[in-house]
Structure 1
Amino acid sequence: MKATKIVAISIGVVALAATVAFMKPRPVKDTRVVTPDQSGMVLIPGGVFMMGTDDAESYDHERPAHMVQVDRFWMDKTEVTNRQFKKFVDATVYITLAERHPSWEELRKQLPPGTPAPPDSVLVPGSLVFHAPTQPVMLNDYTQWWQWREGVSWQHPEGPGSNLEGRWDHPVVHIAYPDALAYAQYYGKRLPTEAEWEFASRGGKNDRYSWGEEVSPQGKFMANTFQGSFPVRNLKEDGFETTSPVGSFPPNGYGLFDMIGNVWEWTGDWYDATYFQTLAKSRLTLNPHGPAKPFDPQDPYGLKRVTKGGSFLCASNYCVNYRPSARQATAFDSGQSHIGFRCVKDVE
């Protein structure tokens, strides 16, 4: 998927359609860092692997493949769930970016100079929601299936009238990068680097997919993805139309669930479309932590982090991002229906 920020400029008016500006975190009730433990985590052994891909059917920013070594680390067995995030919010009174009023002074930093300020009426809390069109659309225009809705947040995934009933064990969504970072830091953890995430996703293999070379070996669904003609018709052959409870599909070789599909996951790395070309100049890169600053040629002013793993919206006729090497540039302040996260912890 291309950039997630949609800014339409008309005569003297900016219509903001897809992002919530970053604001400093609100004070929290419980400012202690909870002593981390390894419950619910898996020890990833670390090692040398081929990061990225040379597959001709992949996207340019996944190439070239290059040798990377990562140290061992602990990783959450599953994506952070609504239940877990509520426990964090209850303890800290944390307010996510999607629940805050955007700041034009912060937002303008990611827009071309001279962009006129929008009316206050459009600077409202909200997030991006997937909305299936009722008829076929051009796949080069993602505004046909993404809608900015006021009042959408992790607690109200589709808007003010929705809730989390029956979804407490689903991955939390509409989480921006600072939200995921705040959660991780509170529990004495952090977000994975892109290299750590990809190493863990491969599960000790170097196949096209986390589980092998076939999307559905012997007809078995291995991840929550989109079956049918995206974005109009979801056949739900894997049993789910949107997110699924974590752990609904087989784990990978390291015992990690949903490293592919379900929701995209935040990493700690800035996104640079040319970063892999830089790494490939070395025979081996030790524990890369991403570029020093972001660079997206399609959105030169955007501040974007790498998200990994694909989601329930990845389809064979569209993005095919249900692969370990797949990567996406996501505005650091953007919440969406299909973005969540999991945490890692250093081995002492």
Structure 2
Amino acid sequence: MVDIRPGRVELSDRRTERRWPVEVAAYRIAAMPVTRQQYAAVTGSGGGGEAEGALPVDSVSWDDAVRFCNRLSEQEGLESVYRWVGEDVSIGPGDGYRLPTEAEWEYACRAGTEGPRYGELDEIAWYRGNSAERVHAVGGKRPNGWGLYDMLGNVWEWCWDVYDPAVYGEYRVLRGGGWFDEHWSCRASVRRRSHPTLRLDDVGFRVARSGLGAGSGE
């Protein structure tokens, strides 16, 4: 986990041409997406062999991701963040793991940069132009300035936020682009959406926690 200091980020939506600033409080975010090996260790599902275990977990729904966060929190003796009332999920004051908000994700991805990406795409991301149309092990490309790997490319990542409830209902935000996407989808500002129950082969996630730990991130 990498400590991220408070800051401000401007989000944007190309579809609506809307822009909105967000103040981001201190938080921690995983340096890499959750791997198949990590996911299997927490959930008890099959993780594949050693090489496959280093791949980012994919084909997980938003619902799967938030349940993973609670289970990981419980295993580490932390207070779970998510609460269920029927099928509705809310976020509570626990100190455990959670999905990053959309603003936290973009703020971390940019790592103080202002352009569409934090480096040359081929150096930082697996995308259609260099992936051979398959997912790759995490951490194989150069990290951003805050030590975060695979923020762009490889797999899209679930965020906590609802995309646009007035138009798309429960659909949740995805960020980062994936191994099958063209270069224009692998940008810090690009937003995608999916229903929280869908499992897609180019979608995974990384975890976050509120507040700062003992790390040395910026």
Please, what TM-score do these two structures have when normalized by structure 2?
0.80
Distance 1:177 1:259 in 2: 18
1:223 aligned residue (125, 132, 137): 125
Report what 1:177 is aligned to.
62
Distance 2:8 2:131 in 1: 36
CA contact (8 A) 1:51 1:199 kept: no
1:313 aligned residue (168, 180, 204): 180
1:48 Cα deviation after fit: 1.6
Distance 1:224 1:239 in 2: 5
Report what 1:14 is aligned to.
none
Distance 1:209 1:295 in 2: 30
Q: Percent identity?
A: 31
Paired residue secondary structure (2:70): helix
Report what 1:52 is aligned to.
12
Report what 1:199 is aligned to.
107
1:251 Cα deviation after fit: 0.5
Higher CA-based Rg: 1
CA contact (8 A) 1:262 1:310 kept: yes
1:249 aligned residue (122, 135, 141): 141
The unaligned stretches of length 5 or more in structure 1 are 1-40, 54-58, 94-154, 157-162, 228-237, 273-293
Distance 1:172 1:255 in 2: 20
1:295 Cα deviation after fit: 3.3
Distance 1:315 1:175 in 2: 22
What is the aligned length? 189
Q: Which has the higher helix share?
A: 2
Report what 1:29 is aligned to.
none
Distance 1:46 1:252 in 2: 17
Report what 2:84 is aligned to.
none
CA contact (8 A) 2:162 2:172 kept: yes
Deviations along 1:226-277, one digit per CA (max 9) or x if unpaired, are 01xxxxxxxxxx35431111101110111100000000101110111xxxxx
Distance 1:72 1:321 in 2: 28
CA contact (8 A) 2:61 2:197 kept: yes
